[in-house]
């Protein structure tokens, strides 16, 4: 096995076994882990405690217990999270951090069935105002105080600054990885690409950065081969399970850029350097966020952003991975669709349901789409 | 030169044998689909009718849900592309195709060269598909083939408001218990199918000629309901169940000529 294959295999293992990643971290550091629900959170604050921030983005369970608490039209991530909560999957976490940018998250945050303490905070939606930053700073102060109570130690400004550096570096390296993955689709197929992103949710970020840096170096040492298949930009919340990504691979589709909430939206905005206090700079990230369905955007920039991504990457088309029953994403779709059509950019919507076990409809859609192109 | 297209659907298996990319020498349908004896029986029937055998086929293209399970096929092409190909061959003025099969419904937009410009499919839901009609026919104790005739005798269209097959079934039962005639209920069932299919067609933008294909196109009641909903003429493809297989046979011919 070559070095890059070894690194990819390591990252795939982490992505597939978050529990083991958490147990290893606990054994190594003596500290615990704190869960973080979609979509955005000041993860740097958690990192600054020395605890491991663990992304909680659902799973691939058959939904039974969650039906007691959620209606059938709650998105599949929330169904999965509820199911896993009911099974006690998150009970080893020292705390769970929940932001509430959509109705389902708001409701879920109020009926957490696990035993871990829950820290809920709100992103202001009138984001353009300076008052929004001030509001979010106050929210983050509450988050910080609660974290301190849970871990039993103060979170110093110096620790937050150090974590900001770690996260900014990880985001920069991941943005570089996205470009490398686009240049080497024969090596970084859609499943491997997703694993590199997903593993960052379960690893201490400086360790993840080091591995991805090494991976990039190894891959860049190889020649760039021409890609005979199609290239796409993918947008949505996430593309899982891996069987769905396998269909991209089967049809010779390379993902050359993404706007997935679980992937590139997490690395889009860095925390700026500056004289302001770290909590204020962390809060400003939300104001500077763009192209996301849960962050109010009266200019509807997301479609244009995706069209720019198509131009920059030379992609053939856009794939909208629609999270089933995600109304923020569904509201964005007609606007984006019109923008794509006006520019004559080929596009298709596929439905994402984490509980799915049969993928024939998506297979037909993607195969037809490739034939159409 | 003979080429074959085989469309292994969810509810039926269809085979078309084409001579020199022009003449249809066999177009056979068996009313069971993927995972059943349907594909094999459809092949046998097509060979029996044409007097040809497997070795005579220069190329075979498979389409439909069971396209990857057919070992005889040289290539698999999606049913969207195959229906577009088959319809354009039969009706060159077609620009919008509404295809309703056993478990899915599709609206396909074509350009003037017959290439697919855009398409929309139903999500994982039986409403508005052939399966929906199957369920309703069973509840109403009539055969699928009789539905169009009942529809033609309807005096008004009963309201079947639900878009869910299971709930619509209970609505039909409720209408029956209220004494609404089967004719009017069936017209309502057809209207419900039309609403779903037309919703897909509207998303891609409508352009004449609108052609309907797939097994459900054999039901004149659904065709009338779609025509009424779209407020335009709807052409029914000749032998609508086999247009996908015809398209596959045409792709096979193109493949053979390469």
Ranges of each domain in chain A: 31-155, 229-373
Give yes or no for a contact between B227 and B62, defined as CB atoms under 8 angstroms apart: no
B80 part of contact set with chain A, CB < 8 Å: yes
Predicted pLDDT of residue A59:
93
Which of A342, A364, A369 should we substitute to test contact with B (largest number of B Cβ atoms within 10 Å)?
A364
Burial degree of A230 (CB within 10 A; 0-12, 13-18, 19+): buried
Do A372 and B79 lie within an 8 Å CB cutoff?
A: no
**Residue in B65, B80, B115 closest to A360 by CB:** B65
CB of A17 within 8 Å of a chain B CB? The answer is: no
Q: Do B65 and A371 touch (CB under 8 A)?
A: no
Radius of gyration of chain B (CA): 18
For residue range B49-66, list pLDDT tens digits in order: 999 999 999 999 999 989
State mean pLDDT over A250-279.
97
Which residue of B lies nearest to A346 if distances are taken between CA atoms? B118
Q: What is the pLDDT of residue A361?
A: 87
Contact B123 A364 (CB under 8 A): no
Cis, peptide link before residue A39, omega less than 30° from 0: yes
List B107's β-bridge partners, or say none: B98, B120
At B215 the pLDDT is 86
pLDDT in tens, B64-93: 989 998 888 999 999 999 999 999 999 999
User: Given this chain, do its domains B1-91+241-258 and B94-236 carry the same CATH topology?
Assistant: yes
Q: Where are the domains of chain B?
A: 1-91+241-258, 94-236
Lowest mean pLDDT among A174-188, B9-23, B76-90, B157-171: B157-171
> Dihedral through CA B100, CA B106, CA B107, CA B113, nearest 10?
-100
Is A256's pLDDT higher than 90? Answer: yes
CA B158 – CA B155 distance, rounded (Å): 9
Alpha-carbon distance A49 to nearest alpha carbon in chain B (angstroms): 45
- Nearest residue in B to A351, CA atom: B123
B77 in contact with A, Cβ within 8 Å: yes
State the CB neighbour count (10 A cutoff) for residue B193.
26
pLDDT at B175: 87
**Which residues sit opposite A318 in a β-bridge?**
A233, A347
Residues 6+ apart with CB under 8 A from A91: A114, A115, A116
Q: What is the mean pLDDT of residues B82-109?
A: 93
The mean pLDDT value of chain B amounts to 91
- Judged by CB atoms within 8 Å, which residues 331-360 of A form the interface with B? 351, 353, 360
- For domain A31-155, say whether CATH 3.30.920.30 is its number: no
pLDDT at A165 over 70: yes
| A263 vs A300 pLDDT, higher one | A263
C-alpha closest to that of A332 among A367, A290, A286: A290
Tell me the chain B residues in contact with residue A372 when contact means C-beta distances shorter than 8 Å. 80-81, 115-119
In chain B, % of residues over pLDDT 70: 99
In CATH, what number does A229-373 get?
Answer: 3.40.50.11900
Establish if A361 touches chain B: CB-CB under 8 angstroms: yes
Give the pLDDT confidence of B219-240 residue by residue, as tens digits: 999 999 999 999 999 999 999 9
Is B203 a residue whose pLDDT tops 70? yes
Asked whether the beta carbons of residue B121 and residue A351 sit closer than 8 angstroms, the reply is no
How far A356 CA sits from the closest chain B CA (Å)?
A: 10
Taking an 8 Å cut-off on Cβ atoms, the answer to whether A371 and B115 are in contact is no
Which pLDDT score is estimated for A157? 96
Answer yes or no: do B81 and A371 touch at CB < 8 A: yes
The mean pLDDT of chain A is 96
Q: CB-based contact (8 Å) between A372 and chain B?
A: yes
Give percent of chain A above pLDDT 70.
Answer: 100
Distance CA B64, CA B85 (A): 14
Distance between terminal CA atoms of chain B? 13
Residues of A in contact with B121 (CB under 8 A): 361, 364-365
Chain B contact probe: residue of A356, A360, A370 with most B CBs at under 10 A: A360
Are B78 and A371 in contact (CB < 8 Å)?
Answer: yes
Instruction: Give pLDDT tens digits for A77-122.
Output: 999 999 999 999 999 999 999 999 999 999 999 989 999 999 999 9
Does 3.30.420.40 match the CATH number of domain B1-91+241-258? yes
pLDDT band at B163 (very low <50, low <70, confident <90, very high): low
- Residue B204 pLDDT grade (very low, low, confident, very high; cuts 50, 70, 90): confident
Structure-token pair, residue A127: 């984001």
In this predicted structure, the answer to whether residue A138 has a pLDDT above a threshold of 80 is yes
Spatial distance between the Cα atoms of B104 and B123, rounded to a whole number of angstroms: 8
B12 phi and psi, to 5 degrees?
-155, 160
Residues of B in contact with A320 (CB under 8 A): none
Q: Which CATH architecture fits B94-236? A: 2-Layer Sandwich (3.30)
When pLDDT is averaged across residues B186-215 and rounded to a whole number, the result is 90
**DSSP H or E stretch at residue B4:** strand B2-8
Assess whether the region A31-155 and the region A229-373 belong to the same CATH fold: yes
Other CB atoms within a 10 A radius of the CB of residue A153 amount to 12
């Amino acid at each position: 096995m070559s070095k890059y294959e070894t690194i990819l295999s390591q990252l795939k293992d982490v992505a597939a076994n978050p529990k083991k990643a958490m147990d290893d971290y606990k054994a190594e550091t003596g500290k615990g882990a704190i869960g973080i629900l979609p979509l955005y959170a000041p993860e740097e604050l958690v990192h600054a405690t020395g605890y491991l921030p663990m992304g909680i983005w659902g799973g691939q369970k058959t939904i039974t217990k969650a039906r007691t608490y959620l209606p059938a039209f709650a998105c599949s991530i929330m169904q999965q999270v509820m199911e896993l909560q009911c099974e006690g999957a998150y009970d080893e976490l020292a705390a769970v951090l929940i932001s509430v940018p959509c109705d389902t998250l708001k409701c879920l945050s109020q009926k957490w069935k696990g035993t871990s303490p829950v820290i809920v905070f709100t992103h202001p939606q009138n984001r353009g105002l300076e008052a929004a930053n001030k509001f979010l700073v106050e929210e983050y102060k509450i988050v910080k105080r609660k974290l301190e109570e849970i871990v039993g130690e103060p979170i110093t400004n110096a620790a937050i600054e150090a974590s900001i550096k770690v996260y900014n570096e990880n985001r920069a390296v991941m943005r570089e990885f996205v470009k490398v993955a686009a240049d080497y689709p024969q090596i970084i197929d859609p499943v491997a690409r997703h694993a590199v992103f997903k593993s960052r949710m379960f690893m201490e970020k400086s360790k993840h950065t080091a591995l991805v840096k090494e991976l990039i170096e190894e891959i860049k040492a190889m020649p760039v081969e021409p890609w005979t298949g199609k290239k796409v930009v993918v947008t949505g919340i996430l593309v899982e399970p891996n069987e769905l990504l396998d269909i991209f691979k089967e049809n010779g589709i390379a993902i050359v850029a993404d706007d997935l909430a679980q992937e590139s939206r997490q690395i889009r905005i860095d925390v700026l350097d500056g004289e302001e206090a770290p909590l204020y700079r962390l809060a400003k990230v939300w104001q500077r966020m763009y192209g996301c369905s849960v962050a109010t955007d009266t200019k509807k920039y997301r479609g244009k952003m995706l069209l720019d991504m198509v131009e920059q990457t030379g992609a053939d088309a856009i794939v909208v991975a629609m999270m089933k029953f995600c109304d923020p994403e569904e509201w964005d779709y007609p606007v984006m669709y019109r923008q794509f059509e006006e520019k004559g950019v080929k596009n298709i919507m596929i439905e994402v349901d984490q509980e799915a076990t049969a993928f024939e409809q998506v297979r037909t859609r993607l195969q037809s789409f490739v034939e159409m192109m | 030169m003979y080429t074959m297209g085989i469309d292994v659907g969810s509810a039926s298996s269809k085979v078309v044998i084409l001579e020199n990319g022009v003449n249809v020498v066999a177009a056979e349908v068996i009313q069971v689909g993927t995972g059943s004896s349907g594909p094999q029986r459809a092949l046998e029937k097509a060979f029996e009718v044409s007097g040809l055998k497997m070795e005579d086929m220069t190329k075979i293209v498979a389409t439909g849900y069971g396209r990857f399970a057919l070992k005889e096929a040289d290539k698999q092409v999606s049913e969207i592309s195959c229906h577009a190909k088959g319809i354009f061959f039969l009706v060159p003025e077609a620009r919008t195709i509404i295809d309703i099969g056993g478990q899915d419904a599709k609206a396909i937009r074509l350009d003037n060269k017959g290439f697919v410009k855009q398409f929309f499919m139903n999500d994982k839901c039986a409403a508005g598909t052939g399966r929906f009609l199957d369920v309703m026919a069973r509840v109403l104790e009539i055969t699928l083939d009789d539905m169009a005739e009942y529809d033609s005798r309807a005096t008004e269209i009963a309201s079947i408001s639900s878009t869910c097959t299971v709930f619509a079934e209970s609505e039909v039962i409720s209408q029956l218990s209220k004494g609404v005639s089967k004719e009017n209920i069936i017209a309502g069932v057809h209207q419900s199918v039309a609403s779903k299919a037309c919703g897909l067609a509207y998303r891609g933008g409508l352009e004449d000629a609108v052609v309907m294909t797939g097994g459900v196109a054999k039901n004149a009641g659904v065709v009338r309901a779609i025509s009424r909903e779209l407020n335009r003429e709807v052409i029914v493809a000749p032998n609508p169940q086999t247009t996908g297989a015809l398209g596959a046979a045409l792709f096979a011919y193109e493949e053979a000529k390469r």
